[in-house]
Amino acid sequence: MPITPATATHSSSNGTADPILLELVDEDGVTIGTAEKLAAHQPPGQLHRAFSVFLFDEQGRLLLQQRALGKYHSPGVWSNTCCGHPYPGEAPFAAAARRTYEELGASPSLLAEAGTVRYNHPDPDSGLVEQEYNHLFVGLVQAPLRPDPEEVGSTAFVTPAELAERHAEDTFSSWFMTVLDAARPAVRELTGPKAGW
């Protein structure tokens, strides 16, 4: 599986650039085909498979990332630790682990499935639509971060109170609260009651 930025094309064996394909799914998450990445996000959006990762440190703080300014979709906004799309046929768990390492330069020391959530979030700034069947993952990160500057503008570990303050002041991705709320039961199980999630 090629390791490339999520928005890039990857080269085929004959030297031409192949488009990034996403897995289209039905309302039950069953694969029904593929579509080119940007086309799948054009209004009204095509329902496709995605993943969202929430990693925490040993103090129970959530790792946020600010998306790089060069990204075509939601540049410069804050969001969860990592999110993206599996390649067609790639298991969501494998894609989540792969992209976390590609974007942040650190592999989770623990990663567990946390359910799925389906949503439709238009992005008013870009005009693109997040029509996603999203696989959720929670875990721990203990290694030092080495973010890829083409993917990540900044990172921050936050408590629930710090997140609430930041969320009131900064711009977050349109999908952030939807995926966080869906992952909360697994987050609470992972971090324990004292963390406050």
Residues acting as catalytic residues: 83, 132
Question: What's the distance, CA 131 to chain centroid?
Answer: 14
Pair 149, 67: CB distance under 8 Å: no
Could you count the other beta carbons within 10 Å of the beta carbon of residue 185? Answer: 14
- 3-state class (DSSP) for residue 130: strand
Q: How far apart are the first and last CA of the chain?
A: 35
The Cα-based distances of 153 to 35, 186, 190 in angstroms read 28, 27, 27
Q: Report which of 64, 67, 172, 181 is spatially closest to residue 119, judged by C-alpha positions.
A: 181
8-14 long-range contacts, CB within 8 A, separation 24+: none
Kindly state the tokens that stand for 89.
């046929």
164 CB-near residues (< 8 Å, 6+ apart): none
